[in-house]
Amino acid sequence: MTRRKHQFFLHNADSENVIEVGKPLYKTIKGRWRTDYFHNDNPIVLELACGKGEYTVGLGSAFPDRNFIGVDIKGDRIARGSKIAQRLGLANVGFLRTDINYIQEFFAAGEVNEIWITFPDPQPRPKQEKHRLTHPRFLAIYKQLLKPGGTLHLKTDSPELFAYSLEQVRSVGCQDIQSTTDLYQSSLNQIHLGIKTKYEQLFFDKGFTINYLQCKMGAIL
């Protein structure tokens, strides 16, 4: 481990806005995010595979009356988002360090209002399909965690992942599906408030179009 990574992990261990293995809330937070962490009754929004937390922090800044949680397994990435949220004084932003495969261990059924998936690994090979974050097994989990009528958002630069995802949300009965293959030229552009991750900005500057979809979920399968 490099010295810089070690410093990131030390930061996470000392930071109240990061929940990870070894901290008391890690084992008790399920179903208690509002009472034990945020101490309010505001809606909860997740960003899955949040990376450095740019979107989590951006949304937290824009919507102080909502609670935002960035989820990622990479501690060094989460530390960067944690530091920015602390610097901005965002008490409505937190980070959970865990594998998304185990997300049900940290959120109760119906505890979440919205889920954002921003530029996930497209897992392009056929044998990787089960790892795509819009695979039916993940969609089933999201439906359970979201309150009835909760919203799922996806942003990706991958046309293949986007087409696959659109097919999957239709197949599981999601409602009110809205989508575009060119977000910044679409009326749906206002939904994401112009917030761009580092890689999204790189894609955009190179002329790539951004695919986006949202749909209503929340009925337990």
Query: Catalytic site residues?
Result: 121
User: In Å, what is the CA distance from 32 to each residue of 26, 121, 178?
Assistant: 11, 30, 32
CA-based torsion, 96, 62, 119, 107: positive or negative = positive
Tell me whether residue 108 is exposed, middle or buried, using C-beta atoms within 10 angstroms of its C-beta: 0 to 12, 13 to 18, 19 or more. middle
The radius of gyration computed from the CA coordinates of the chain, to the nearest angstrom, equals 17
Q: Tokens 């955009």 — which residue?
A: 204
Dist CA 35 CA 69 (whole Å): 15
User: In Å, what is the CA distance from 138 to each residue of 95, 132, 211?
Assistant: 20, 8, 20
36 residue type, one letter: D
Report yes or no: 211 and 153 within 8 Å, Cβ to Cβ: no
Pairing of strands 211-217, 175-180: antiparallel
